[in-house]
Copies of this chain bind each other. A is one copy, B any other.
């Protein structure tokens, strides 16, 4: 990322974008263009909203945490009529409920959902959700994949996702600053007819320029340099291995928490391979976060909105290995003792090690 700048309208940038294009498609599981916008993940979510929702449309947002809620907030800013179908935070969205809701509300034009809900560590069943939406309505399916695409299997085309959004700073292993958006043929038709005012986030401009291996506005070039490199890393490791590594890291983390008798927020069935939320019953997660930061420089996330102060979250995605997970659990155990919970030191690590060895035996 420290390469000297190049002309963003020159041949070098064209070559860079041309090399990036097919690799991004592989990670999204799509034959459609994956468009690159300079901005945070929220800019990508807003791109999905302003390009697919016409003024006056009704939409359904499946809220399973803070990022589902963000879709609601964006829609509210645009005076869109939002139907909010909320799950208990920590649980996944239920396809059957979505079906019932859609059958009772025939005007819904777009359904928004979150693949990995970072705020709770839930991986929503987007394939099944897309399926019920398409079987029971003509609505588009828009998926926020910010905190997992690149770390978990994603088959945008096969699963029937109409718009998929992700960001550079999560499983993509880059600093923040880029957001990626791809759209299905059906979504492009809606976008072409869409009357919502938009300029910087007008996805059609990005599609039209990418056809010429270019971008409509000056891109964050240093991040594009980095992107090419991380796409090479994905290729070298192999996507299947990347996904298996994330599943392994999740299993190790969860086994450790179970061995230490610290409750997990999510069930095994709805747990995300990229982030694990933990809801301790006998110590203060905020105190634990402070101890870990101060003693080891380790940042673990807290809860958001009504989960604030109730949970802590361990990210295990992107440039992160099973060895890192062992280190983090080792540190965590010390932190847990320091905040006053009695545990048998090393039991969490041992459980994680056992998972690692079992997994290896399977391969």
Q: Tell which of B74, B200, B202, B218 touches A176, judged by Cβ atoms closer than 8 Å.
A: B218
Shortest C-beta distance, A324 to chain B (Å), equals: 13
Shortest C-beta distance, A129 to chain B (Å), equals: 24
Q: Tell which of B7, B220, B299 touches A7, judged by Cβ atoms closer than 8 Å.
A: B299
Residues in B with CB closer than 8 Å to A74 are 199
The answer on a CB contact under 8 Å between A40 and B78 is no
- The chain B residue sitting closest to A9, CB to CB, is B301
The answer on a CB contact under 8 Å between A176 and B1 is no
Report the separation of the CA atoms of residues A200 and B73 in the bound assembly, to the nearest whole angstrom: 11
Report the separation of the CA atoms of residues A201 and B74 in the bound assembly, to the nearest whole angstrom: 11
A90 within 8 A of B: no
Residues in B with CB closer than 8 Å to A301 are 7
- The chain B residue sitting closest to A2, CB to CB, is B2
A217 within 8 A of B: yes
Q: Do A197 and B77 contact each other (CB < 8 Å), given the known contacts A217-B42, A299-B10?
A: yes
The answer on a CB contact under 8 Å between A220 and B5 is no
A247 within 8 A of B: no
Q: Do A38 and B176 contact each other (CB < 8 Å), given the known contacts A169-B5, A220-B220?
A: yes
Q: Do A39 and B175 contact each other (CB < 8 Å), given the known contacts A218-B169, A299-B10?
A: no
A134 within 8 A of B: no
Q: Tell which of B6, B41, B202, B219 touches A40, judged by Cβ atoms closer than 8 Å.
A: B219
Number of copies: 2
Report the separation of the CA atoms of residues A217 and B47 in the bound assembly, to the nearest whole angstrom: 15
Residues in B with CB closer than 8 Å to A38 are 38-40, 43, 176-177
Of A40, A78, A79, the most chain B CB neighbours within 10 A belong to A40
- The chain B residue sitting closest to A73, CB to CB, is B199
The answer on a CB contact under 8 Å between A200 and B2 is no
Residues in B with CB closer than 8 Å to A167 are 218
A198 within 8 A of B: yes
Closest 4 CB pairs of A and B: A177-B220, A175-B222, A40-B217, A77-B199
A-B contact pairs, 5 of them (CB 8 A): A1-B2, A38-B39, A42-B200, A46-B199, A177-B222
List the interface of chain A (C-beta within 8 A of B).
Answer: 1-2, 5-8, 10, 38-43, 46, 73-74, 77-79, 167, 169, 175-177, 197-202, 216-223, 293, 299, 301
- With contacts A6-B299, A7-B299, A46-B199 known, what are 6 further pairs, Cβ within 8 A? A1-B2, A38-B43, A175-B223, A176-B219, A220-B220, A220-B223
